[in-house]
Amino acid sequence: MIMNRMNKGLLYFVLLIASCLILFPLLYTLSSSFMTNGESATYPPRMLPSHLNWDNYMNVIQTIPVMRFIGNSFIVSTLIMIGQIVTASTAAYAFAFLRFPGKTFLFALFLATMMIPWEVIMIPNYLTIKNWNLLDSYTGLIIPFVASAFGTFLLRQSFLQLPGELFEAARIDGCGHIRIFLSLVLPLSTPAIATLGVYSFLNHWNMYLWPLLITNKEEMRTVQIGISMLQFEEMTSWNLVLAGVVTVLIPSLLLLVLGLKPLVRGITAGALKG
Amino acid sequence: MEKNVTLQHMLKRTTFLPVFSTRSMHTNRWLERILAFVFLAPSLLLFSIFLFYPLLKSVYLSMNLTDPRGRVVQYVGLRNFTDLLTSELFYKSITVTLSFILLTVPTGIILSLILAWLAQTRLRGIHLFRFIFSLPMAISVGTGSIIWMVLYHPTLGTLNYFLSLLHIAPINWLSDPNWALFSVALMTVWMNLGFQFIVLLSGMQGVSEDIYDSAQIDGAGPLKTFFKLTLPLITPSIFFVTVVSMIGAFQSFGQINILTKGGPMNSTNVMVFNIYQDAFMNYRFGTGSAQALILFFIVLILTLIQFKVLEKKVHYQ
């Protein structure tokens, strides 16, 4: 019993140290974002501000279009998310329940697309978007990502796990495929759809390379590009930059808090499939 | 496996399909095919434009020289490739990428294994710790890199301050060619920890309690249980994390573009950064595409090898 208590204490101690190491960069960011210019540039570096100084946040919002960046990222990620849910769920339904020639081949083709790293095809895609005059547009940021092989695969797996008797009953009632899809399969698969939604939103919220290539105008920058451009313009005052970082982190953190469960479910589905 | 599933489904389906007449069967089948086509069309169209066509176009571009607007000016056959294979910078970028993978993937996986092992215990407040350990997942390359840029600052940064407390001379984290890749790797390990932790933790939670109970009855200590039981049982998760992390490491770009721009002295010039520079800074879309194809084949071969070799050793419960 005493041994057990000691073990427990030790375990908490190790957990605490690990948490401190992982959290340190974030806590430091948070604390610096409240420092005044003078406080953030002293040596030895201060760990805590003298008081909660909200000026940096006011400054960031006034001098840099952070809200615009957040808005852009929000529009882009949301539309990609909706697009992926629509294209992946229809494709998954076809693969799970419809009979058509070439099904195995097409499914293998879908799976094979997951092997192509995005970086390999970015040059032609950039040229395509440029030829279509879509540089600096939402369409250019969104359209290459609207179809998702991963999403199709994930949803197909979950569709196949639905009980077959349900379909029999629906069929006997005279339901066609479209009715079955819309009023039976989709509502019953909300957990998997939520997984795909959170996964796709977070992924594209964090997208870096494509928006870097596609956007030039400041008002079209997404969060990731906007915030990293900040560094070159404002590197003299960290407190300001870090206040910007915190502003941008808040939506992602909120999403993680709300979406951790479906996200874990999705990742595990991938892991088990191996 | 895949065939079995569809086959079973077909069998099941045909038994309850109402068979009225051969003609309605026929139209039914055609309707089903048309519907399937309609359902697949959006994905197929998008994949064709933004995946298959670019892949072919990459092959085409890699055999040509282009003008800065991406229009082909001259066919050069395999010269882009032979140029690359004789270019020192290209080999440098390959070795840098491999070192980067060696620095980030094993470290990350070992650390997250330890974290997952610590966090699978049933203690009060363990959920808080689990949340903290998965937090880095919410951090993107953009924000993560800026945070670490501040920490790495040579004179005012906190990391050098901590070193000075230990009486260690300050390190030029990002401007010393011997340290730059390490620094970028350190930041990357931190950033990927959340994802790896989540996968490994859910792997460990999938192992049934009975196995642990019987191990305890047999008198196995926690370390022995970990190495002899937990580790072999979660090989599928470890396998998955390794593949995903390696492919991710091959594709690293953001942190390098923000923190070091491939420098100093190309010491952090990973492949994707080199492609980016060739194609979008020097407008040499031809050599850029040639490199991209080489990257594609390396990733492809690696994935296949990993699946072949590791799959055999993977223990499925």
d(Cα B220, Cα A224) in Å, to the nearest integer? 49
- Residue type for position A81: M
Residue B4 lies in a domain: no
Instruction: Tell me the two tokens of residue B75.
Output: 């066919």
Q: Give the global pTM.
A: 0.84
- Please tell me the distance from the alpha carbon of residue A172 to that of residue B16, in angstroms, as a whole number: 9
By C-alpha distance, which of B252, B268, B272 is closest to B260? Answer: B268
B179 lies in some domain:
yes
**Sign of the dihedral through C-alpha B20, B27, A165, B6:** positive
**Residues 179-218 in A contacting B (C-alpha not used; CB under 8 Å):** 202, 205-206, 208-209, 212-213
Chosen for mutation from B13, B39, B117, B281 (greatest number of chain A CBs closer than 10 Å) is B39
**Residue A209: CA count within 13 A, CB half-sphere:** 22
Structure tokens at A269: 């589905």
DSSP-assigned letter for residue A46: P
The reported pLDDT for the residue numbered B17 is 46
Q: Cα angle vertex B136, ends B122, B260, to 5°?
A: 150
Query: CB burial class (10 A; 0-12, 13-18, 19+) of residue B71?
Result: exposed
- Looking at the domain assignment, is residue B33 inside a domain? no
Residue B287 lies inside a defined structural domain of this protein: yes
CA-CA-CA-CA dihedral for B184, B187, B191, B196, to nearest 10: 80
Q: Is residue B150 part of a domain?
A: yes
> Strand, helix or coil at B127?
helix
| Whether the predicted pLDDT of A265 surpasses 90 | no
Q: Which residue has the higher pLDDT, A273 or A62?
A: A62
**Searching chain A, which residue's CA lies closest to the CA of residue B281?**
A213
Q: B77 vs A264, which has greater pLDDT?
A: B77
Residues 6+ apart with CB under 8 A from A195: A154, A262, A263, A265, A266, A269
Round the average pLDDT of chain B to a whole number and report it: 84
What pLDDT is attached to residue A1?
A: 42
Are A15 and B119 in contact by the 8 Å Cβ rule? The answer is yes
Residue in the block written with tokens 């294979």: B85
Q: How many CB atoms lie within 10 A of CB B68?
A: 9
Q: Does B141 touch chain A (CB under 8 A)?
A: yes
- Residue appearing with tokens 């760990």: A47
Closest listed residue to residue B108, CA positions, set B181, B237, B197, B223 = B197
Phi and psi at residue B48, to the nearest 5°: -60, -45
Tens digit of each residue's pLDDT (9 = 90 or more) over B100-146: 999 999 999 999 999 999 988 888 888 899 999 999 988 888 899 99
Q: How far apart are CA A59 and CA A66, in angstroms?
A: 11
The Cα A274–Cα A264 span in angstroms is 15
Instruction: Identify whether B126 is part of a domain.
Output: yes
Asked if residue B31 belongs to a domain, the reply is no
- Contact list in A for residue B40 (CB cut-off 8 A) is 90-91, 94, 106
B194: tokens are 């959340």
Please indicate whether residue B154 or residue A82 has the higher confidence score (pLDDT). Answer: A82
User: Does A15 have pLDDT greater than 50?
Assistant: yes
Structure tokens that stand for B231 in this block: 């580790």
Alpha carbons B237 and B294: distance in angstroms, whole number: 29
State the residue for tokens 């086509």.
Answer: B37
CB contact under 8 A, B161 and A248: no
- Encoding tokens for residue B207? 């192992």
Q: Which two tokens stand for residue A218?
A: 């400041």
**Would the pLDDT of B45 be above 50?**
yes
Range of the domain at B97: 84-313
Looking at beta carbons, which residues of chain A come within 8 Å of B137?
Answer: 202, 256, 263
Instruction: Please give the tally of structural domains in chain B.
Output: 1
The whole-angstrom separation of Cα A93 and Cα B20 is 25
- Grouping H, G, I as helix, E, B as strand and the rest as coil, residue B123 is coil
Whether residue A233 is predicted with pLDDT greater than 70 in this model: the reply is no
What pairs with residue B64 in β-bridges? B75
B276 vs A157, B52, B216, B261, B270, CA distance in Å? 36, 21, 54, 11, 10
By Cβ distance, the residue of A227, A256, A264 closest to B146 is A227
B141 contacts in chain A (CB < 8 Å):
206, 208, 224
Give the Cα separation of B115 and B138 in Å (integer). 18
- Residue B66 phi, psi (nearest 5): -125, 160
A43-66 pLDDT per residue, tens: 777 788 888 888 888 888 888 888
Percentage of chain B with pLDDT > 70? 89
Handedness of CA B22, B28, B30, B36 (dihedral sign): negative
Name the more confident of B247 and B288: B288
CATH number of the domain residue B224 falls in: 1.10.3720.10
Cα separation of B138 and A199, whole Å?
11
B271 lies in some domain: yes
The residue of chain A with its CA nearest to that of B34 is A100
